[in-house]
Amino acid sequence: MEGNSKTLGEFIIENQKEFKYSSGELSRLFNSIKLAAKIVSHKVNKAGLVDIIGGAGEKNIQGEDQQKLDVYANEVFIKTIINRQIVCGITSEENDDFITVQGGDNGNNNKYILLMDPLDGSSNIDVNVSVGTIFSVYRRISEVGTPVILEDFLQPGINQVAAGYIIYGTSTMLVYTTGHGVNGFTLNPAIGTFYLSHPKIKFPEDGNIYSVNEGNYVHFPQGIKNYIKFCQQEEGDRPYSSRYIGSLVSDMHRNMLKGGIYMYPSTKSTNGKLRLLYECNPMAFITEQAGGKASDGVSRIMEIEPTSLHERVPFYSGSINMVEKVENFISEAKLSKY
C-alpha cells in the first residue's frame, strides 16, 4: 500500500487550497492529532499486557465512571496538542471546563480551538472491542491575543472548519473532513505512517442496518418505537439488521461504509446520552460531507445553538433516506397525539 497510496501529510499538502484559512496551521494540527492517535493506538493494542484496563476510580463531569485508558487518552491528546502551540483552547468530555492554552510566544494568538471525546466507547476496552477518538475544530470568535472564552466553544456545528475520528480496531484509521468530502487513512504500524485507504467515502442513500440500544426501548419516544417495529417487520425483501456495538465511532464507521442509521433517542429522564459539541456535531459534519443526514429528529444537528459545554441532544445520523424515514415516524407520532 505504501508505494501506491498518499500519506496523510502528502494529502493535506496537496489539498491545502481547499482549506480557506491557514493551511500551515491545519497541517500542524493534524500532525499533532495523528501523533497522539499513534500513541493511544499503541497503548490500546497493549491492553491486557499492561495495567491500562479497568476503572480509574473516578467519575467525569457527566457522572460516568472513567476508565484508565480514558484518562490516559485525554492526557496524551491534551499534552501533544498544547506542546505544539497550535490551538488557543481545548475542551474535552473528560474535563469539567475548557482549557486555555498559553505558552510559547503567546498561545492566545492562536486562532483555533479543539473539542474532543478522547476515548469514545471506553466501556468496551476491557472486552477487546473497538473504541475511538472524536475531534472537532473551530476558529475562535473572541479577539486574537486575548484568552479564550466560553462563547468560543458554544458555536453551532455549521461553524466547524474540520472534524474527524480515529477508530482503534483491527486496524487504526483516521477519518476526517474539512468541508470537501470525507477521506480515511489507515495506519501502517510497522513504520508509523497513515496512508489514504478510503478516498471520498460516501454514505449509501439507503441501508438495512439500524444501530440503537434497544435495552432502552420502553423509554423511547413513540415515534422511535414505531420505527423499530417497522424495521423488524418481515415484509418483502426488507428485513433490517440490528447492529449495535456501543461505540459511536465504531457504529457510525460501519454504517457509513455499508449503509445504515445510528440512533440515540431521548428517554423520559434524559435528552439522550450523546454530547452535542464533541460527539454529535463532528459526526454530523462528517455524515453530511459523506452525503448522509444528521438530525435530532426534528432539526439539523449542526444548526442547534449550544447552551453549555456538555449539552446532550437526541441524535439520528446515517443514510439520508433512513434518517428522513425516522423523522417522518417522529412527526406522525406527535400528530397522532392531537
Span 169-226, pLDDT tens digits: 889 999 999 999 999 999 998 999 999 999 999 999 999 999 999 999 999 999 999 9
Contact 74, 119 (CB under 8 A): yes
pLDDT string in tens for the chain (338-residue length)? 444 589 998 998 888 777 766 657 778 888 999 999 999 998 887 655 444 444 444 444 554 545 578 888 999 999 999 988 889 999 999 898 999 997 555 557 888 999 999 998 767 666 667 889 999 999 999 998 899 999 999 999 999 999 999 999 889 999 999 999 999 999 998 999 999 999 999 999 999 999 999 999 999 999 999 999 999 886 666 679 999 998 999 999 999 999 999 999 998 778 889 999 999 999 999 999 999 999 999 999 999 999 999 999 999 999 999 999 999 999 999 888 65
Domain 209-335 has CATH 3.40.190.80: yes
- Comparing 8-198 with 209-335, is the CATH topology the same? no
- 3-state percent breakdown (helix, strand, coil) of the chain, nearest 5: 35, 25, 40
CB under 8 Å to 12, separation ≥6 — which residues? 23, 26, 27, 30
> Where is the binding site for substrate, in residues?
120-123, 213, 244, 273
Task: Please state the separation of Cα 316 from the chain's center in Å.
Answer: 13
Residue 122 gets which letter from DSSP? G
Identify the DSSP state of 139. E
**Hey, is 134 helix, strand or coil?**
strand
Paired residues of 133 in beta bridges:
166
Cβ contact 66:80 at 8 Å? no
Q: Across the strands, what pairs with 172?
A: 168
CATH of domain 8-198: 3.30.540.10
Tens of pLDDT, residues 36-73: 999 999 888 765 544 444 444 444 455 454 557 888 89
Neighbours of 253 (CB within 10 A): 23
| Burial category of 32 from C-beta neighbours within 10 Å (exposed 0-12, middle 13-18, buried 19 and up) | buried
pTM for this predicted structure? 0.90
Domain ranges of the chain: 8-198, 209-335
Annotated binding-site ranges: 93, 117, 119-123, 213, 244, 273, 279
- Residue owning grid cell 440490528: 242
Closest Cα partner for 262 from 274, 278, 276, 277? 274
As a whole number of angstroms, the distance between CA 120 and CA 315 comes to: 15
The binding site for Mg(2+) comprises 93, 117, 119-120, 279
Burial of 30 (0-12, 13-18, 19+ CB in 10 A): buried
- CA–CA gap between residue 167 and residue 120 (Å, rounded): 9
Which secondary-structure segment (H or E) carries 197?
A: strand 193-198
Nearest Cα to 100, choosing from 138, 153, 25? 153
In the numeric block, the cell 449542526 is attached to: 302
Half-sphere exposure of 137 (CA within 13 A, CB side): 26
